Structure formats: structure tokens, C-alpha cells
């Protein structure tokens, strides 16, 4: 029979309250720290490694009939949209890992809150369970920015970081691409005034009730197919996943979401427009142009509209917020592994290339290793692939030796020789001084 000890937990106000958990056996701790729910699981055969899960983006509700999701998971779970990982939590526990995850105190683009909530979770684990021999953070999608911030923090509490399917090119560059999607859509369909300005979206714009129904009706009209193909080609979105028969596929839906409601939520958080496209160039390959002409669409006037009529700038204060949460600084402090699927149309593998090139520019790439899998989805890694990545990182932390090519075998679906594409637009950033000041206030 298991004995119990009283441990200190925290309620919504951060005040201590009592809860009993097993001593000398597996631990399951659930609670709330300063408004952020958390979940901790510790196996009886704990190997001393703590895996900290930084979740991805969750929609922040702007409707009373759509409550926010504030559930905490100790690991990636089918309950939050990873159907291919039904046994991930059990798999990690069976392999001796302690696992912990925070729901964060807020939804939306809550990178600022996520950084602090995840840090507080690690501190609580150390008080309540014990000091891990190794602490590895793994962030998924938006959560990869939390992991990357941890990897660059000189006073960090993590020994290694895994950035999975992450927007590791940084918030400014990634959100700027949403302006390309918005501009391309506006060029072919127009931009509804009810959505706000194309460069400053209405703060309470709701995707499900205002954007998606219009998008579906437009796609169901076969005469609009060339227009959608123009959007896809000019934004360099992959074909696989862009359509689902006569319905929008995940890349069309997700990119349109972040070009509208997602961008509006970040603008509200940052205090103004965060995206710009003043330094972007819009063009098509000769093959792409010929293809559109064969569909009966002359793309030249649309490209001209993009170049001349759909330009906008970010508010400088809002832009600095997006840089702070988070744009990589180009200096890693702990071993860092990135993994992407080769066909991700949301957090494209070009993100990994930007990170790699920024580190090379800073002459500091020795702590970076990158791997790719052969799937086309967003964060669609298998349990075996994720466990392989975690074990490779654990060995790196313990031995100080970078993973080798055979640590990511083709037999598990990794693609050893994959070279990610270049970023589709300029990659100037705050680490290349003067970029924001060089953008004119008004398009001439």
C-alpha cells in the first residue's frame, strides 16, 4: 500500500493549498499556478530526466458560445489534436521520463505568458518532486518559440531544447507571411470592409462565422479555382493539403485563419498592427504563370495589384512586441534540435533554414542539429519519431556529443539528406539594424 505525503500546490490566486500525492511511487500532480493549469506525471522508475512540454497555439475565444480551452497536458495528446500519438504520455512514462506541461494562463499568441508559465512549472516540479538530473523542454508549433527562448537564455533552467514543427524563423518573419496571404486573397476576391483594414484587422474578427463561410462558398464555385491557385502559387504554399476536394484543406484554412482572426488577436495583444510587406516582392515562376494562363487566368494584373495597391507597415511599438515574443537572437546556450515534416504548409521547413543561417551568421551553430521526417502534415510526427528525437537529445545532453545522421534513420521515416527551401521573402530583422526604419511610412 502506498504512503502519502502532503505537498504544497497553488490555486488560481497563487496561494498555497494542500494536496496528497503518493510517495515512493508514481506521482500525478495537477493544479494551477497564477491562472495556468498544469499537469505533472512521474513514473516509479524515473530516470532523472524531466521533459517539459510547451504546447502550440490555441484559439482565444471572442464569442460567449465558444469557451476557451484551458486543459493542461503533460505530453502531446490526441485530446488536443494529435490523433497519431494515442500512447505518447504512456510511452514516455514507460521509458522512465518525468513529464510536465502547462496550459498557459491565456490562449492565442501567448508566447510571453507561456515562457513564464513554463518556467514556473519547472520551479514547482523542483520543489514538489525533486531536482531533475536533466531538464529538456520540447515546444510544438508556437511552443517551439518558448523552447527556443529557453535555449537562448543565458540564465536558463533547461539543459536541452527540442523545437518541433516550429515557427523558429521568429514571430516577425512568420507573421509577415500572413500579410502575403491576406494581400493575395484581397487581390483576387477583394477584402471585405467588415473585416477591418487589410493591414490592421478588426480586433474581434471571428474566423468561424465571418471568414470561413465565405471562403467555403468561394471555393465551391469552380470558376474561382484559378484564383485560389494564384493565391497558392504567389504565397508558395504546397499543393498537398491546400484543397480537400471542393473544400479548403488545412493549409488554406490555417493560413487564412492566421491572416484574419489570428492576426487580429496578436494585434490586440501587441497594441497595433504587427505585420508588414513593404520589403516583399510578389512574382510567379514562368511555369506558374503559364499554368495559370492555361486555366484562363491572366495573373499579370493581379501581381501588379500586389506590388502597387496592397502594401502596409507595422506599428513600431507593436513590432517590437512581436520581436520580444519571440525573434531568435542567434546565440544558443544549450543543445537545440529542430524537427520538421518536409511538407508542412503552415510552419514550413524553411523556418529551420532561417534559424540555421542566422546561427551561421553569428558563427554559433555548434549547438544546433536539424532533422526532417517524410510526412506532409503539421506536427504529424509518429510516436517512434518523437521518442527517437527525445532520446537523441538526452544522449547529447549527457555526453556532449551532437547526434549523428544514423540517430535519425530513414527506416523510421526521417529524411537524412533533405535541404529545406529558402525563405520566400527577405529575412531582414532586428539583428540586421535599420530594417524597420528603411521601410517608408507610405507607399509611393
CATH of 25-170+326-412, one of 3.30.1450.10, 3.40.50.1820, 3.40.50.2300, 3.30.450.20: 3.40.50.1820
SS (H, E, C) 388-426: HHHHHHHHHHHHCCCCCHHHCCHHHCECCCCCCCCCCCC
Q: Measuring CA to CA, how many Å separate 275 from each of 57, 59, 91, 99, 231?
A: 18, 19, 40, 36, 18
Q: Are 164 and 291 in contact (CB under 8 A)?
A: no
pLDDT at position 433 over 60: no
Q: Which of 7-11, 231-235, 310-314 has the lowest mean pLDDT?
A: 7-11
Instruction: Kindly tell me the sign of the dihedral angle through the C-alpha atoms of 24, 30, 34, 36.
Output: positive
81-95 pLDDT, tens per residue? 898 888 899 999 999
pLDDT at position 254 over 70: yes
My answer on whether omega of the bond before 326 falls inside 30° of 0, hence cis, is: yes
pLDDT at position 442 over 90: no
User: Which residues of 81-178 form beta strands (DSSP E)?
Assistant: 98-102, 134-140, 160-164
- Predicted confidence at residue 178, as pLDDT, reads 96
131-167 pLDDT, tens per residue? 999 999 999 999 999 999 999 998 779 999 999 999 9
pLDDT at position 436 over 50: no
263-276 pLDDT, tens per residue? 999 999 999 999 99
Q: Are 352 and 344 in contact (CB under 8 A)?
A: no
User: 130: Cβ–Cβ under 8 A, 6 or more apart, which residues?
Assistant: none
Q: If residue 308 lies in a helix (H) or strand (E), which one and from where to where?
A: helix 300-308
Overall pTM > 0.85: yes
Q: What is the DSSP string of 105-124?
A: S--BS-HHHHHHHHHHHHHH
- Predicted confidence at residue 24, as pLDDT, reads 53
pLDDT at position 430 over 60: no
Residue 296 vs residue 80, higher pLDDT: 296
Domains of the chain by residue range: 25-170+326-412, 174-313
pLDDT at position 105 over 70: yes
Buried residues in 312-323 as b, exposed as e (16+ CB within 10 A): bbbbeebbbbbb
User: 59: Cβ–Cβ under 8 A, 6 or more apart, which residues?
Assistant: 69, 107, 108, 261
- Predicted confidence at residue 428, as pLDDT, reads 64
171-181 pLDDT, tens per residue? 999 999 999 99
DSSP for residue 59: P
What share of residues in the chain are helix, strand, coil (percent, to 5)? 40, 15, 45
354-385 pLDDT, tens per residue? 999 999 887 777 899 999 999 999 999 999 99
The arithmetic mean of pLDDT across residues 396-420, rounded, is: 96
Q: What percent of the chain has pLDDT over 70?
A: 91
d(CA 157, CA 147): 11
Taking the alpha carbons at both ends of the chain, their separation in whole angstroms is 77
d(CA 166, CA 17): 36
- Predicted confidence at residue 66, as pLDDT, reads 85
Q: If residue 261 lies in a helix (H) or strand (E), which one and from where to where?
A: helix 261-270
- Predicted confidence at residue 336, as pLDDT, reads 97
Amino acid at each position: 500500500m502506498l504512503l502519502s505525503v502532503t505537498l504544497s500546490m497553488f490555486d488560481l490566486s497563487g496561494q498555497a493549498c494542500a494536496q496528497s500525492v503518493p510517495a515512493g511511487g508514481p506521482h500525478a500532480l495537477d493544479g494551477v499556478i497564477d491562472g495556468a493549469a498544469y499537469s505533472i506525471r512521474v513514473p516509479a522508475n524515473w530516470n532523472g530526466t524531466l521533459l517539459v512540454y510547451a504546447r502550440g497555439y490555441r484559439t482565444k475565444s471572442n464569442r460567449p458560445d465558444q469557451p476557451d480551452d484551458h486543459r493542461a497536458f503533460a505530453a502531446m495528446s490526441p485530446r488536443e489534436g494529435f490523433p497519431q500519438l494515442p500512447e505518447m504520455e504512456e510511452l514516455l512514462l514507460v521509458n522512465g521520463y518525468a513529464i510536465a506541461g502547462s496550459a498557459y494562463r491565456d490562449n492565442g499568441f501567448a508566447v510571453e505568458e507561456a515562457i513564464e508559465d513554463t518556467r514556473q512549472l519547472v520551479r514547482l516540479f523542483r520543489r514538489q518532486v525533486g531536482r531533475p538530473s536533466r531538464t529538456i523542454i520540447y515546444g510544438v508549433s508556437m511552443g517551439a518559440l518558448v523552447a527556443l527562448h529557453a535555449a537562448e537564455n543565458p540564465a536558463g533552467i533547461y539543459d536541452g531544447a527540442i523545437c518541433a514543427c516550429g515557427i523558429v524563423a521568429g514571430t516577425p518573419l512568420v507573421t509577415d507571411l500572413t500579410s502575403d496571404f491576406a494581400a493575395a486573397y484581397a487581390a483576387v476576391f477583394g477584402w471585405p470592409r467588415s473585416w477591418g483594414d487589410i493591414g490592421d484587422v478588426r480586433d474581434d474578427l471571428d474566423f468561424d462565422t465571418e471568414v470561413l463561410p465565405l471562403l467555403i462558398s468561394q471555393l465551391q464555385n469552380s470558376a474561382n479555382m484559378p484564383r485560389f491557385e494564384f493565391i497558392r502559387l504567389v504565397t508558395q504554399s504546397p499543393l498537398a493539403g491546400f484543397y480537400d476536394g471542393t473544400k479548403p484543406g488545412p493549409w488554406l484554412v490555417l493560413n487564412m485563419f492566421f491572416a484574419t482572426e489570428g492576426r487580429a488577436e496578436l494585434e490586440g495583444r501587441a497594441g497595433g498592427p504587427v505585420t508588414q510587406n513593404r520589403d516583399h516582392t510578389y512574382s510567379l515562376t514562368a511555369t506558374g504563370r503559364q499554368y495559370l494562363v492555361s486555366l484562363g487566368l491572366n495573373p499579370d494584373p493581379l501581381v501588379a495589384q500586389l506590388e502597387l495597391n496592397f502594401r502596409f507597415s507595422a506599428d513600431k511599438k507593436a513590432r517590437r512586441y512581436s520581436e520580444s515574443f519571440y525573434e531568435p537572437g542567434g546565440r544558443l546556450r544549450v543543445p537545440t534540435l529542430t524537427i520538421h515534416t518536409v511538407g508542412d504548409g503552415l510552419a514550413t521547413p524553411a523556418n529551420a533554414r532561417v534559424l540555421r543561417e542566422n546561427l551561421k551568421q553569428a558563427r554559433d551553430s555548434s549547438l544546433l542539429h536539424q532533422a526532417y521526417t517524410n510526412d506532409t502534415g503539421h506536427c504529424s510526427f509518429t510516436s517512434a519519431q518523437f521518442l527517437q528525437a527525445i532520446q537523441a537529445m538526452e544522449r547529447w545532453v549527457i555526453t556532449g556529443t551532437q547526434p549523428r545522421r544514423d540517430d535519425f534513420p530513414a527506416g523510421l521515416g526521417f529524411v537524412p539528406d533533405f535541404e529545406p527551401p529558402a525563405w520566400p521573402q527577405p529575412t531582414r530583422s532586428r539583428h540586421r539594424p535599420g530594417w524597420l526604419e528603411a521601410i517608408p511610412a507610405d507607399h509611393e
